[in-house]
Amino acid sequence: MKFLMYILGIIFSIIVIMSMFFPFIDTYAKMEKLPDPYYFLVLGMDTTDVNEKVSRTDSILLVGVSEKKEKILVLPIPRDLLVTIDNSTIRINAVYVKYGIKKLQEIIQKMFSVKISDYLIFDYGLFKEIGNIYAPVKIYVPKDMYYEDYHQNLHINFKQGYNYLNGEELLYYARFRHDALGDLGRIKRQKDVLFALMNAARSSGLSKILYSINKVLDRTVNSFDFEKLFSLFIVSKKSNINFLSLPIEVVGDYVKLDNSQIKYMNKYLTYFEKPSDNKKVWITLINNMKNFNLSFYTVMRNKWKNSNGYLIEIVDKLPDINGIQHNKSYLIIKNKKYEERILKEIKNRYGNIAFEIIDAKQKPDLYFSIIKFLSDNFYNTLNSDIIILVGKNS
């Protein structure tokens, strides 16, 4: 009798466990296989209601996924990028509202020679709802942020360094406007929040994932179904996420593609490997200035105008690293074959300004602290040949 009760107990336990996991098993069974490679667009609208009428797209991301290569490529497209439609030239951030998602897809497909299968359009109210699912969410705040608006019951007080935010605080952080960078800084913070949520989801439990997928489907304008989003999550769990920088040229208050490098970017997006035939030097410029009241992005783009032979990545975050003095300039030469070339280039652009060279062999702790700073802020340090921390003396 005891043996029979023991067997029945085991059977009952198995039934209970199976009933708990059946929704997950059923989802796996129905999971839609993604094409390889697979591309989709993510659009952010500057509103807290995705159905609200707005005049511009605040952020545009082209995302490429390759399960075989176990890679996800994320390419932010500058909202001030000029495109031509019907013999008219407009900024790309106006295309969606004026012409619709299909036209925007066509333009980006043609630009990068890829097929875009889906799109997801979100408003920033989604940050609050998804943020509460994964709270607390880890965010690096580059500078102290303080703002009070009693009329809107808005109270922001974030300290420099890593902060752990709930959904409402994430929304406040993403929409904060009151710094010297204005819209540029706000767009960068929205990108940071998006990537922090992505990172939190990848390390979360399955029940939260299923719940957040349903929330995304309900709160966005999109072409996805549940199975496809779930498939995308499964692929992302085992994939490395690389953030690319679009080769552009600054012309006044807008930007245009660097056509000499577009083939390089197309190959990268197609094969998910950094093309070996690229001969341009990749330079990462990091803001190391306290109380810099101008747009670091704009100043650096102007400083490196006519930079043929270089790909420029700009990191507008102030590092807080032991051994690094703020307002001082530093230089890291990761790819030694470019050392002579880059030293000449820096002398041409900066004159006799002193740059302290950080050598990985002589100062490994300092070197890897800077690499960690970039990685923590979702920059792909494998791309960089040269890293420059720009201080006030330069």
Q: What confidence tens digit (pLDDT) does each residue in 236-287 have? A: 888 888 888 888 877 777 888 887 778 888 989 999 988 765 567 888 888 8
Whether residue 75 is contained in a domain is answered as yes
- Has residue 267 been placed in a domain? no
Q: Taking 70 as the threshold, does the pLDDT of residue 121 lie above it?
A: yes
pLDDT tens digit sequence for 175-187: 776 665 555 566 6
**Within a domain: 8:** no
Pairing between β-strand 161-165 and β-strand 137-141 as defined by DSSP bridges: antiparallel
Report how many domains make up the chain. Answer: 2
Whole-prediction pTM value?
0.63
On whether both 296 and 231 belong to a single domain, the answer is no
What percentage of residues in the chain have a pLDDT greater than 70? 83
Residue 18's pLDDT band, with cuts at 50, 70 and 90, is very low
| Pair 195, 100 in one domain | yes
Note whether residue 116 is domain-resident. Answer: yes
Query: According to the model, what pLDDT value does residue 15 have?
Result: 43
Torsional sign, CA 46, 52, 56, 61: positive
DSSP assigned state of 271: H
Domain stop point among 241, 267, 300: 241
| Domain CATH number, residue 184 | 3.40.630.190
Mean pLDDT of the chain: 81
| pLDDT reported for residue 340 | 84
Sign of the C-alpha dihedral computed for residues 134, 241, 361 and 342 taken in this order: negative
User: Which of 226, 135, 203, 228 is CA-nearest to residue 173?
Assistant: 135
* 180, 213, 241 - which closes a domain: 241
Regarding whether 305 and 207 lie in a shared domain, the answer is no
Quote the pLDDT of residue 167.
87
Please indicate, yes or no, if residue 6 is contained in any of the structural domains.
Answer: no
pLDDT at 49: 60
Q: What is the pLDDT of residue 13?
A: 44
DSSP character at residue 56: S
Q: What are the tens digits of pLDDT across the range 26-54?
A: 444 456 689 999 999 999 886 656 566 56
Q: Is residue 14 part of a domain?
A: no
pLDDT of residue 250: 74
* Together in a domain, 215 and 283: no
Q: Are residues 121 and 230 in the same domain?
A: yes
Where in the sequence is the domain holding 291, given as residue range(s)?
279-390
pLDDT digits 0-9 by tens, 292-339 = 777 888 888 888 887 777 888 888 888 888 888 888 889 888 888 888
Together in a domain, 217 and 363: no
Q: Are 231 and 32 in contact (CB under 8 A)?
A: yes
Tell whether 47 is covered by a domain.
Answer: yes
Those residues whose C-beta lies under 8 Å from the C-beta of residue 145, and which sit 6 or more positions away, are 156, 157, 158, 173, 176, 179
Residue 355 lies in a domain: yes
Each residue's pLDDT tens digit, 240-252: 888 888 888 777 7
pLDDT digits (tens, 9 = 90+) for 199-242: 888 788 888 888 889 989 998 999 999 999 999 988 988 888 88
Last residue of a domain, one of 216, 241, 266: 241
Lowest pLDDT segment from 58-67, 143-152, 214-223: 143-152
